């Protein structure tokens, strides 16, 4: 099955800096990956996704990088803002309907 | 646009009481529906998912059950709650495999 986990449980950055949150997975059959942001007391909010036929995808201030060779993906947030403070989850899936979630990284943005 | 609603937002129940949490989706048809539980400081554990009316797949043996009486309605139930059922319950929908799942704002369930 899928095993998705995160390298660091917490990350603290200064406002305006770039943030990088990392994630590793173990199932080579995984072909879909997604990042979520979860604020306290709320459900996870979709940020960006990527399929295994790509190695990079960009959104507004966010970039996801996928390295299939080492089974690693990362979320980069440019010019991090206080509103970016939250827990960030990666999740991975295959051809079935299920996603397996990592434990999450708490991002704290210092003003 | 699609929206997902969960209620109640918070619930305090005594041990041994029944449970019914409801989730409805608007603005889409034939969604895949999911129930997750999230323990404090942890990731999301998939409890049930459904690809159609009356079709329920259970991921972990537990004290809970799920039902899908209508296309866009997903219900999480228990006949007798245990202390270990406490947690943050999240409902989600998607258009299918390899598609984003979209979450409601959850129900915080406390068992006393």
**pLDDT one-digit tens code per residue, A50-76:** 999 999 999 999 999 999 999 999 999
Residues of A (13-72) whose Cβ lies below 8 Å from B:
31-32, 34, 36, 41-46, 49, 51
Q: Is the pLDDT of residue A5 over 60?
A: no
Q: Is the pLDDT of residue B42 over 80?
A: no
Task: Of B1-10, B37-46, B47-56, B66-75, give the lowest mean pLDDT range.
Answer: B37-46
- B47 φ, ψ to 5°? -100, -55
Tell me which chain A residues have a C-beta less than 8 angstroms from the C-beta of B44.
44, 89, 91, 101
Q: How far is CA A44 from CA A14, A97, B38, B47, B81, in A?
A: 23, 18, 11, 16, 25
Do you know the residue count of chain B? 112
Tell me which chain B residues have a C-beta less than 8 angstroms from the C-beta of A101.
43-44
- Cβ–Cβ under 8 Å, residues A21 and A64: no
**What is the per-residue pLDDT for A4?**
60
Cross-chain CB nearest to A104 (options B43, B94, B106): B43
Over residues A36-45, the pLDDT tens digits come to: 999 998 999 9
Distance, CA of B4 to CA of A40 (rounded, Å): 18
End-to-end CA distance of chain A: 41
Averaged pLDDT for residues B61-75 = 93
Task: Looking at the complex, report in whole angstroms how far the Cα of residue A79 sits from the nearest Cα belonging to chain B.
Answer: 25
């Amino acid at each position: 099955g899928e095993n998705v986990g995160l390298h660091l449980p917490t990350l603290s950055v200064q406002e305006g800096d770039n943030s990088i949150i990392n994630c590793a997975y173990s199932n080579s059959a995984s072909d879909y990956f997604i990042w979520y942001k979860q604020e306290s007391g709320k459900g996870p909010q979709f940020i960006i996704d990527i399929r295994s036929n790509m190695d990079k995808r960009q959104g507004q201030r966010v970039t996801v990088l996928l390295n299939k060779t080492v089974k690693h993906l990362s979320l980069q947030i440019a010019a991090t803002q206080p509103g970016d403070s939250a827990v960030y989850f990666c999740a991975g899936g295959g051809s079935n309907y299920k996603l397996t979630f990592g434990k999450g990284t708490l991002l704290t943005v210092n003003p | 646009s699609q929206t997902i609603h969960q209620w109640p937002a918070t619930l305090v129940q005594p041990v041994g009481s029944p449970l019914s949490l409801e989730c409805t989706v608007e603005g889409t048809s034939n969604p895949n529906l999911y129930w997750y539980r999230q323990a404090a400081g942890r990731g999301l554990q998939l409890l049930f998912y459904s690809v159609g009316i009356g079709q329920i797949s259970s991921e972990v043996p537990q004290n809970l059950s799920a039902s899908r009486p209508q296309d866009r309605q997903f219900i999480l139930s228990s006949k007798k709650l245990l202390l270990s059922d406490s947690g943050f319950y999240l409902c989600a929908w998607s258009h299918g495999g390899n598609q984003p799942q979209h979450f409601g704002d959850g129900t915080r369930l406390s068992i006393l």
